[in-house]
Structure 1
Amino acid sequence: MAEILVEHGIDPLPLATEAGLTPDVLHDPWSTLNGYQELAFQRLFWRATQQIPGIGFLTGLRYSLIAYGPLGLAVLVSRDVTEGLCTFAAMQGLGYALFEYDILMKDDIAVTFLANDDYVPAGLMEFLHERLLGSALTFFRDMRQANLPVRLIESRLDRPRGWMGLEDRWQAEIVYRAPRSCFHFADGVGALPLPLANPSLAENYRRLCQNMLDTSPAHAGIVKSVYQLLMQSRGAFPNASEAAQALNVSERSLHRKLAETGTSYRQALDNVRLRRARELLDSSDLPMSDISDRLGFAEMASFSRFFRRVAGVPPSTYRKSGLRIVAASS
């Protein structure tokens, strides 16, 4: 988004500062930002660019599948289109997306890719649905290394027929002002093999993704909101007071509602920290001290005690015997 701002003569630095970001986050690939900052920057981006025709679509075109990390790789090496899409839908929590994606099936073959916007803020609804028309185009093309035949697209956007010439880009009919945004595939598309299919790699990447997700809950309501907030955080995690403020409830109500579901804020934070720790231990060679810093621990010993308490083994033991060895030996 920062690159697109520059290309249209808009300085991204004031927007980044307003979103609570430091300038280095725009240039350093190892910089991190939390979910609040990302959401704030998206809002500011849309405010600054919505007068540019098709800016959401053009932004979406840059969302390559490989940018999803292990999740993108798991999709790329899947057996066929259906397996790739189902893998993405099952592991979509790794993408920290505001949409919830679902795959509609017929005879075990994917026929429709559906985007649920129940959790999209009202002020970003138009931007994200417009961006979806670009990001899905890139996603499907990357997956198959060629255009993926789509027979019909339904979009919640209020656009005229022929807008931005998207019918030609997609080579499909687009129906605007639909009750939902979804992509209906041509007959047989779900069974198309993927050119980079590799069963062993697919299994290993799915296991890696599952390992990253295994502490993510399936609760609804306040518990789901808390986990979404924590999983979208980059850098320091919010404390209970900050989380309550972000969720528009009092801290006392937050603790009470979590207790009613049999959990607590500390338990939620521990689960997300464990997931993030496993992700870093499995997919990077970062020193333990760096991982400890990224998870917000004051010292390495605190991180080691935490990991042993929630995972049952020290982090060094987990790394030596974990999934990374399975992947390396395949």
Structure 2
Amino acid sequence: MDDLVPSALLESPLELIRQAGQDPAIYAEKAGLPVEALHTPHLLIKSSAVNRLLEVAAEELEERFFGLKASRTLGLDVTGNLWLLARTARTVGEELELLAENMALHTGLVSISISSENLAGKLITVDFYASATIKSMAARQHIRQVQVVEMFFGTIVSELRRSLGKGWQPDYVQFMHAAPDDMEPLRDVFGDRLFFNQDVNAVHITNEDFDKPNFRAPARAISEDGLALVKRESELRTVYNTTFVERVRRIIRALSDQEGCTAEVVAHELGLPARTLRYRLKQKNTSYQSIYNESRLELARHYLLHSELTISAIAERLHFTDTAAFSNFFKRQAGMTPRMFRSRTPALR
């Protein structure tokens, strides 16, 4: 099953396609989107199709920064009630915390976590969902996530500038993909402190900025009615949209940059005994090990296509005992060695 997102996310990308003199319907068809998505803002569509649309458009229009350009007119209002609630937060930090607590349930495309990386500020880490059911190594548009990452980060920065000032920029930004040849468009939005080939996609903001008032909060308090509405919507989305398997997969992805990720750790995050986790996955005709392997394969493909990390560095990052173990794993899963995969499927930078 694929996570679903509102078709309102497409408004800005489709407008860019029109401005380029192209027919959005052709791009939608290539991405596997229903034609209704071009005209209906509240239609639920596959998140992987949104990602494909961005990547197809960037490639066909030869616009490396297509997603970044789309972020100029895309707002978090596409998340509906969640955005309305976040607007009433008392501080910038409170707004971000509300988004972090609820974003995955409202869009299906991303999940956000906030950590105190150091005494100077907070690290806003964003995990972008990619369907792990995709098996074709040749379908690069399915697994490349450069455009969606930069579009979402650009949107976040635009939203924060409403409270922190028109010229505000993050303390620094980390990208999992490799640096483009031309850095200026990214520097214009995010500043000079950009880091690529990283473990996570993340934005760092200072504690001073985190604690600043949210200027859109007229009552300087969270609306209880708004909070109840968001919680109710979240419950419905949990039941009808996010499957148990996808929740397990998302937790594994979120913890993958730590010291490995065992079934016991994931079960603890879900509030379940490990044996219950395994039993419920068996009922879904899968297993923890299968999902863990899919997630590691997904990350491996990403690093091979979109980073400049060596194969040995990727093996270490994904917690393999050595490069040979990683190569053997990748060959079993993908039908070719990591080196062959990287040489046969070059990615757009």
Asked whether the two chains share a fold, i.e. TM above 0.5, the reply is yes
What code does the residue aligned with 1:73 have? Answer: L
Which of residues 68, 87, 91 is equivalent to 2:79? 68
1:92 alignment counterpart: 103
Which of residues 86, 89, 99 is equivalent to 1:78? 89
Which of residues 191, 194, 211 is equivalent to 2:211? 191
2:171 alignment counterpart: 151
Q: Conserved in 2, the CA contact under 8 Å of 1:112 and 1:185?
A: yes
Task: Give the Cα separation in 2 of the matches to 1:76 and 1:108.
Answer: 27
**In structure 2, do the counterparts of structure 1 residues 110 and 213 end up closer, same or farther at CA, with 3 Å as the change threshold?**
farther
Where 2:223 maps in the other structure, the secondary structure is helix
Which of residues 180, 196, 203 is equivalent to 2:224? 203
Deviation (angstroms), 1:208: 1.2
Deviation (angstroms), 1:176: 1.8
Task: Give the Cα separation in 1 of the matches to 2:237 and 2:36.
Answer: 30
1:173 alignment counterpart: 193
The answer on 1:261 being equivalent to 2:280 is: yes
What code does the residue aligned with 2:279 have? Answer: E
1:163 alignment counterpart: 183
Q: Per-residue displacement from partner, 1:179-220 (whole Å, max 9, x unpaired)?
A: 2111111341111011122345533322211111135559xx
Instruction: Structure 2 unaligned segments of length 5 or more: list them.
Output: 1-12, 133-141, 250-275, 285-349
What code does the residue aligned with 1:207 have? Answer: A
1:27 alignment counterpart: 39
Where 2:150 maps in the other structure, the secondary structure is helix
Give TM-score, length-normalised by structure 1.
Answer: 0.58
**In structure 2, do the counterparts of structure 1 residues 206 and 146 end up closer, same or farther at CA, with 3 Å as the change threshold?**
farther
The answer on 1:43 being equivalent to 2:49 is: no
Q: Conserved in 2, the CA contact under 8 Å of 1:65 and 1:143?
A: no
Written as runs of structure 1 = structure 2, the 5 A alignment for 1:1-330 is: 1-18=13-30, 21=33, 23-29=35-41, 32-35=43-46, 39-50=48-59, 51-105=62-116, 111-117=122-128, 119=130, 123-142=143-162, 144=164, 146-160=166-180, 163-197=183-217, 198-200=219-221, 202-215=223-236, 223-225=244-246, 260-261=279-280
Deviation (angstroms), 1:162: 6.0
Q: Conserved in 2, the CA contact under 8 Å of 1:81 and 1:190?
A: yes
Q: Conserved in 1, the CA contact under 8 Å of 2:172 and 2:190?
A: no
Q: Conserved in 1, the CA contact under 8 Å of 2:71 and 2:154?
A: yes
Task: Give the Cα separation in 2 of the matches to 1:170 and 1:158.
Answer: 16
Where 2:224 maps in the other structure, the secondary structure is helix
Give TM-score, length-normalised by structure 2.
Answer: 0.56
Deviation (angstroms), 1:222: 6.6
Where 1:208 maps in the other structure, the secondary structure is helix
**In structure 2, do the counterparts of structure 1 residues 156 and 224 end up closer, same or farther at CA, with 3 Å as the change threshold?**
same
Q: Conserved in 2, the CA contact under 8 Å of 1:153 and 1:172?
A: no
Deviation (angstroms), 1:139: 2.8
Report which stretch shifted further, 122-131 or 16-25. Answer: 16-25
Deviation (angstroms), 1:91: 1.0
**In structure 2, do the counterparts of structure 1 residues 150 and 172 end up closer, same or farther at CA, with 3 Å as the change threshold?**
farther
Deviation (angstroms), 1:132: 3.0
Q: Conserved in 1, the CA contact under 8 Å of 2:90 and 2:222?
A: no
What code does the residue aligned with 1:126 have? Answer: V
Instruction: Structure 1 unaligned segments of length 5 or more: list them.
Output: 229-256, 266-330
Where 1:185 maps in the other structure, the secondary structure is strand
Task: Give the Cα separation in 2 of the matches to 1:177 and 1:7.
Answer: 32
Report which stretch shifted further, 20-29 or 67-76. Answer: 20-29
- Identical amino acids, percent of aligned pairs: 18
Deviation (angstroms), 1:165: 3.5
**In structure 2, do the counterparts of structure 1 residues 176 and 71 end up closer, same or farther at CA, with 3 Å as the change threshold?**
same
